[in-house]
C-alpha cells in the first residue's frame, strides 16, 4: 500500500485561512482519492496546518483504480439501424469515436426510449497519474476569502508559496504551481532552527518520516495537538496563580493558528487599571494583543498570559515587552473611559443624526426612532402597560456609539452604554437593556434577561429585517453583509427559548405601516418609487417567510424532523413559541407505536377534501348512522379542544382529537363520500373539512411521512 504526502509551504497565513485550508484539504482529498483507498478507515488521511504550511498525508492507497464497466449510449435505435437491420453511418461513427468494435453494439432500452450502445471497460488510472491530475486543482481552489499574486506566474494563494513537497512513498511526484516545482525539502521552525528567519531546509526521505521530522524541528504540525498544548499551558499557569482562566474559544482557535511552537509567558499589569470595566480589559487583551486573562471569584486579576512562537532563554525580556505594549493600550482605554464619563448619554442622543445607518434608510437616530415604534407595538401585543423603561432604554440604546471607548473598541458597543448608564444614575433595568438589546450576537450567545432588554432586542432585529428587505437588500447564498440571518435567528431564539407567546404576523404588519418605511425610502431615493398596499403585504410575507426559514433550520438543529416542522408551519402558524410546542407534541405522537395507523386515517380526511373547498355543513343532510355518530362526537369534543388550544395544551388537545379516529374509520368503512347527490356529497365533505380544520390548528398531518 502507498502513502502520499503533500506540503504547501508559504509565508504566514492568517488564522482563518489556516482553518479554511485544513478543512478544505481534508474534504477534497477524501473525495478525490476515494477510489484509491484499500478500505475505509480514519487512518486514511491526516491533515496538518500551521501558519507556514498546509499538509496532507494519505495512506492505504492502491497502485491504481479498479477498472470499471460502463454503459455508453449512442444515437437512437431508429437512427443507428436501417430497415434492413444494418448499422448506419451514425452507429459506425459512434463506435469509431469510442473505440468500440462494431459487433459489440447492442440495443439498449431506457426510460427515454431505445438506443444503440455498448458496455466498455474503463481502465483505472495509476495513483501517480491521478496525483498529477487532481492535486494542483485542489490547491488552486482552496476558497480563501482573499488571495494574492506575488510573481509573474499569476498563481493566486492566501500568501506567497515558497516550497511544495509532493512524495508518493519516497518518490517525488512533480507538481508545479506559482513557479514552484515540488521536491522533498521542507523548512523547519523559522526562529528555532538556522538560518534564523527562514528555518532549516530539511530533506524528507519518505512520506513516513514527515510528522517526526517536523516535531524534531520545533513544529507541532497538527492543529489539535497545538490547541491542546495551548490549553494545557493556560490551565497550568492558572493553577500556579490559584486563579480561573477565561477560556475564549475564538481566541484559543486564533492563537493556535498563529503559532507553530506555542510558549506561554505570564505577565502583569498595574491594578490601577482594574477601575475599568472587566470587559474593556478583556477586549484590549483579546482583540488587540491576543492575551488570555484570569479571574478569582468572578473578579479580574492583574495578570495575563501571552503566547510566543519561540522558546527564548530569558523569558523576562519578552514578558517586559508584552507588559509595555499592554500598558500603553490600557492607558488609552483608561483615558477614553474618564473622558466619556464627562458626557451624559442623554446629550449624545441628538448627535446620532450624524451617524449614517444606511444611505437608503437614514441615520442611526432614524433607526432608534423606528426601534421605539416597534418596541411599543410589541409591548401592546404582550400587554405591557408601563413603557417607561422601554422608551428610556431605547432612547439611550445607541448613544454609546458616540463615546471614545466604542469608537476605538467597537466590540464594546452596548457594554459601555450599560456601564455609563449605571454611572450616570439610570436604573439597572434600563442599563442592562442597553447591553441586552444587541443579544444574542451569535447562534449560541446568551439571551437578554430583562423584559426591557428582550423587547428592545426583538424590536431592533425586526426593524433591521423590515428595513433591509424593503430596499431589496436580502441575503445571498454566500453573503449576508447586514447580518439579516443573525437577526432572524436572534428573534427565533428569544421567542422560543424565553417562551414568549407572540404572533409575529400582526406585529410585522403594524410595524411596516407605523415606522414610515415607505416615506423613509422615498426620502432617500428622492421619490423614485411608490410603496403600494400590495407592497406592504408582500414585504410582510417576505419577512415572515425569512424568519420561518431560520426557525425551521433552528428546529432541525434541535433534532426535529423536517416533515413535522413543515406540517406545523404549513398551517400558517406565525407564533413561533406555539409552533415549537406543536412540533414537540407531534414529535411525541410520532413515537407512538400506533402512529402510522393514526396517520393513515387522518391523512385520508385531509386528502379527500378538494382544494379551496368551502364548508357548508347541515345535519339535516345526514343519511347514514356513521356520519351522524361522527358529527355527534365532533360536537362533543370541539369546544374542549378549542379551549385546550387557547391554553397551549397541545398534548391534551391532540389526545382529544384522536378520540375521533374510530368514528372516522367507521365513517370511511360505511359511508360513500363522493356520491352523485351534490348536497349530500358537499355535506359529507364539509363534515370532514371541519374535522380537518380542527387538526390543522395543530398540524397539517397530510405532510407527515409514515
Nearest to 161 by CA among 419, 171, 175: 175
How many Cβ atoms from other residues are within 10 Å of residue 360's Cβ? 16
Backbone angles phi, psi at 95, to 5 degrees: -65, -40
Residue 494 scores a pLDDT above 70: yes
From CA 77, how far away is CA 303, in angstroms rounded?
Answer: 82
19 or 197, which is more confident: 19
Task: Identify the three-state secondary structure at position 395.
Answer: helix
pLDDT at position 363, please?
Answer: 94
Average pLDDT of the residues in 420-446? 95
pLDDT digits (tens, 9 = 90+) for 353-391: 999 999 889 899 999 999 999 999 999 999 999 999 999
From CA 150, how far away is CA 428, in angstroms rounded?
Answer: 55
Task: Identify the three-state secondary structure at position 512.
Answer: helix
State the residue for C-alpha cell 398534548: 651
From CA 93, how far away is CA 382, in angstroms rounded?
Answer: 76
> In this structure, which topology does domain 581-703 adopt according to CATH?
Isoleucyl-tRNA Synthetase; Domain 1 (1.10.730)
pLDDT digits (tens, 9 = 90+) for 439-453: 999 888 999 999 999
From CA 389, how far away is CA 256, in angstroms rounded?
Answer: 44
Name the pLDDT band for 231 (thresholds 50, 70, 90).
very high
pLDDT at position 200, please?
Answer: 94
State the residue for C-alpha cell 498525508: 57
pLDDT at position 69, please?
Answer: 80
**Cβ distance 265 to 309 under 8 Å?**
no
Nearest to 229 by CA among 194, 272, 260, 191: 260
Query: Which residues, including other chains, have CB under 8 Å from residue 343's CB and lie 6 or more apart?
Result: 403
Strands 45-50 and 53-61: antiparallel
Q: Could you tell me which residues are beta bridge partners of residue 115?
A: 76, 108
Average pLDDT of the residues in 238-265? 95
pLDDT at position 149, please?
Answer: 94
Task: Identify the three-state secondary structure at position 260.
Answer: coil
pLDDT at position 468, please?
Answer: 93
Residue extents of the structural domains in the chain: 2-64+126-216, 68-122, 223-340, 346-559, 581-703
Where helices occur in 141-290 by DSSP H, the ranges are: 210-216, 223-240, 249-256, 278-283
Transcribe 472-483 into DSSP letters: T---BTTB-TT-
Task: Identify the three-state secondary structure at position 487.
Answer: helix
Backbone angles phi, psi at 113, to 5 degrees: 145, -170
pLDDT at position 41, please?
Answer: 86
Backbone angles phi, psi at 467, to 5 degrees: -65, -50
SS (H, E, C) 46-61: EEEEECCEEEEEEEEE
Average pLDDT of the residues in 24-40? 92
pLDDT at position 7, please?
Answer: 97
From CA 698, how far away is CA 653, in angstroms rounded?
Answer: 9
Average pLDDT, the chain: 92
**Cβ distance 511 to 466 under 8 Å?**
yes
Transcribe 593-661 into DSSP letters: TTHHHHHHHHHHHHHHSPTT------GGG--SHHHHHHHHHHHHHHHHHHHHHHTT-HHHHHHHHGGGH
The angle that helices 364-381 and 504-514 make with each other, rounded to 10 degrees, is: 140
From CA 218, how far away is CA 311, in angstroms rounded?
Answer: 10
DSSP-assigned letter for residue 305: E
Report residue 208 as a C-alpha cell.
Answer: 513516513
pLDDT at position 575, please?
Answer: 97
pLDDT at position 706, please?
Answer: 72
> How far, CA to CA in Å, does 311 sit from each of 6, 262, 307?
28, 8, 10
pLDDT at position 523, please?
Answer: 57
Contacts 24+ apart (CB under 8 A), 525-528: 525/360
State the residue for C-alpha cell 522533498: 184
**Cβ distance 222 to 210 under 8 Å?**
no
pLDDT digits (tens, 9 = 90+) for 650-674: 999 999 999 999 999 999 899 898 8
Nearest to 44 by CA among 28, 31, 60, 55: 60
pLDDT at position 593, please?
Answer: 83
pLDDT at position 577, please?
Answer: 97
Give ∠ CA 46-47-53 in degrees, rounded to 5.
Answer: 140
From CA 195, how far away is CA 451, in angstroms rounded?
Answer: 62
The angle that helices 625-646 and 661-670 make with each other, rounded to 10 degrees, is: 150
pLDDT at position 84, please?
Answer: 83
Residue 334 scores a pLDDT above 80: yes
Name the pLDDT band for 405 (thresholds 50, 70, 90).
very high
Q: What is the dihedral of CA 3, 9, 12, 17, to 10 degrees?
A: -50
pLDDT digits (tens, 9 = 90+) for 81-104: 888 888 999 988 998 888 888 888
pLDDT digits (tens, 9 = 90+) for 599-651: 888 888 888 888 888 888 888 888 889 989 999 999 999 999 999 999 999 99
pLDDT at position 241, please?
Answer: 96
The angle that helices 661-670 and 595-608 make with each other, rounded to 10 degrees, is: 60
Global pTM value = 0.81
Report residue 641 as a C-alpha cell.
Answer: 379542544
Q: Sign of the CA dihedral 351, 356, 358, 360?
A: positive
From CA 406, how far away is CA 339, in angstroms rounded?
Answer: 12
Burial 24-55 (b: 16+ CB within 10 A, else e): bbbebbbebbeebbeeeeeebbbbbbbbbbbb
pLDDT digits (tens, 9 = 90+) for 517-562: 766 665 555 545 556 666 778 889 999 999 999 999 999 999 999 9
Architecture of domain 346-559: Orthogonal Bundle (1.10)
pLDDT digits (tens, 9 = 90+) for 406-417: 999 999 999 999
Reduced DSSP (H G I as helix, E B as strand, rest coil) percent helix, strand, coil of the chain, to 5 = 55, 15, 30
Residue 350 scores a pLDDT above 90: yes
**For a pLDDT cut of 90, what percent of the chain falls above it?**
73
Question: Where is average pLDDT lowest: 123-127, 136-140, 523-527, 647-651?
Answer: 523-527
Amino acid at each position: 500500500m502507498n502513502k502520499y504526502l503533500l506540503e504547501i509551504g508559504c509565508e504566514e497565513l492568517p488564522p482563518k485561512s489556516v482553518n479554511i485550508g485544513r478543512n478544505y484539504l481534508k474534504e477534497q482529498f477524501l473525495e478525490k482519492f476515494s477510489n484509491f483507498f484499500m478500505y475505509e478507515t480514519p487512518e486514511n488521511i491526516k491533515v496538518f496546518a500551521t501558519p507556514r504550511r498546509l499538509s496532507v498525508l494519505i495512506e492505504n492507497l492502491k497502485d491504481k483504480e479498479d477498472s470499471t464497466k460502463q454503459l455508453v449510449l449512442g444515437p437512437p435505435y431508429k437512427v443507428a439501424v436501417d430497415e434492413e437491420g444494418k448499422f448506419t453511418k451514425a452507429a459506425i461513427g459512434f463506435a469509431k469515436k469510442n473505440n468500440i468494435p462494431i459487433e459489440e453494439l447492442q440495443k439498449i432500452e431506457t426510460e427515454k426510449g431505445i438506443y444503440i450502445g455498448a458496455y466498455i471497460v474503463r481502465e483505472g488510472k495509476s495513483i501517480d497519474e491521478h496525483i498529477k491530475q487532481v492535486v494542483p486543482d485542489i490547491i488552486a481552489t482552496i476558497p480563501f476569502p482573499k488571495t494574492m499574486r506575488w510573481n509573474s506566474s499569476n498563481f493566486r494563494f492566501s500568501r506567497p508559496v515558497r516550497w511544495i513537497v509532493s512524495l508518493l512513498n519516497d518518490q517525488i511526484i512533480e507538481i508545479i504551481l506559482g513557479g514552484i516545482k515540488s521536491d522533498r525539502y521542507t523548512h523547519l521552525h523559522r526562529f528555532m532552527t538556522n538560518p534564523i528567519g527562514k528555518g532549516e531546509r530539511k530533506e524528507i526521505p519518505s512520506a513516513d518520516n514527515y510528522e517526526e521530522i517536523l516535531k524534531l524541528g520545533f513544529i507541532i504540525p497538527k492543529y489539535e495537538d497545538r490547541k491542546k498544548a495551548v490549553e494545557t499551558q493556560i490551565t497550568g499557569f492558572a493553577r500556579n496563580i490559584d486563579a480561573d482562566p477565561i477560556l475564549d474559544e475564538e481566541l484559543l482557535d486564533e492563537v493556535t493558528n498563529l503559532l507553530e511552537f506555542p510558549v506561554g509567558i505570564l505577565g502583569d499589569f498595574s491594578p490601577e487599571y482594574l477601575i475599568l470595566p472587566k470587559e474593556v480589559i478583556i477586549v484590549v487583551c483579546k482583540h488587540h494583543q491576543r492575551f488570555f486573562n484570569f479571574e478569582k471569584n468572578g473578579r479580574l486579576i492583574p495578570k495575563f498570559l501571552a503566547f510566543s512562537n519561540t522558546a527564548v532563554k530569558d523569558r523576562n525580556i519578552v514578558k517586559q515587552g508584552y507588559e509595555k505594549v499592554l500598558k500603553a493600550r490600557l492607558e488609552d482605554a483608561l483615558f477614553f473611559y474618564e473622558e466619556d464619563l464627562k458626557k451624559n448619554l442623554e446629550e449624545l442622543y441628538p448627535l446620532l443624526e450624524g451617524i449614517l445607518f444606511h444611505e437608503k434608510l437614514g441615520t442611526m437616530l432614524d433607526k432608534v426612532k423606528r426601534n421605539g415604534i416597534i418596541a411599543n407595538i410589541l409591548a401592546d401585543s404582550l400587554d405591557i402597560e408601563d413603557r417607561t423603561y422601554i422608551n428610556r432604554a431605547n432612547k439611550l440604546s445607541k448613544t454609546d456609539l458616540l463615546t471614545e471607548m466604542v469608537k476605538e473598541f467597537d466590540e464594546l458597543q452596548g457594554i459601555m452604554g450599560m456601564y455609563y448608564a449605571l454611572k450616570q444614575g439610570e436604573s439597572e433595568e434600563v442599563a442592562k437593556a442597553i447591553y441586552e438589546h444587541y443579544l444574542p450576537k451569535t447562534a449560541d450567545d446568551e439571551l437578554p434577561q430583562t423584559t426591557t432588554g428582550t423587547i428592545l432586542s426583538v424590536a431592533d432585529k425586526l426593524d433591521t429585517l423590515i428595513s433591509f428587505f424593503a430596499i431589496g437588500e436580502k441575503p445571498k447564498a454566500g453573503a449576508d453583509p447586514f447580518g439579516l440571518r443573525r437577526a432572524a435567528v436572534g428573534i427565533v431564539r428569544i421567542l422560543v427559548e424565553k417562551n414568549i407567546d407572540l404572533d409575529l404576523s400582526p406585529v410585522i404588519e403594524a410595524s411596516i405601516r407605523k415606522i414610515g418605511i415607505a416615506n423613509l425610502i422615498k426620502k432617500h431615493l428622492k421619490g423614485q418609487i411608490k410603496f403600494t398596499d400590495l407592497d406592504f403585504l408582500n414585504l410582510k410575507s417576505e419577512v415572515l417567510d425569512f424568519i420561518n426559514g431560520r426557525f425551521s433550520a433552528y428546529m432541525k438543529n434541535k433534532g426535529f424532523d423536517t416533515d413535522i416542522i413543515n406540517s406545523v408551519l404549513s398551517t400558517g402558524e406565525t407564533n413561533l413559541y406555539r409552533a415549537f410546542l406543536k412540533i414537540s407534541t407531534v414529535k411525541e405522537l410520532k413515537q407512538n407505536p400506533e402512529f402510522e395507523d393514526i396517520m393513515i386515517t387522518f391523512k385520508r380526511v385531509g386528502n379527500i377534501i378538494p382544494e379551496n373547498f368551502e364548508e357548508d355543513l347541515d345535519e339535516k343532510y345526514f343519511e347514514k348512522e356513521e356520519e351522524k355518530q361522527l358529527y355527534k362526537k365532533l360536537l362533543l369534543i370541539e369546544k374542549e379542544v378549542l379551549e385546550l388550544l387557547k391554553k397551549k395544551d397541545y398534548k391534551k388537545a391532540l389526545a382529544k382529537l384522536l378520540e375521533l379516529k374510530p368514528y372516522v374509520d367507521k365513517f370511511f368503512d360505511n359511508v360513500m363520500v363522493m356520491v352523485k347527490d351534490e348536497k349530500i356529497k358537499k355535506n359529507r365533505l364539509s363534515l370532514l373539512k371541519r374535522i380537518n380544520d380542527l387538526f390543522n390548528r395543530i398540524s397539517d398531518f397530510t405532510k407527515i411521512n409514515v
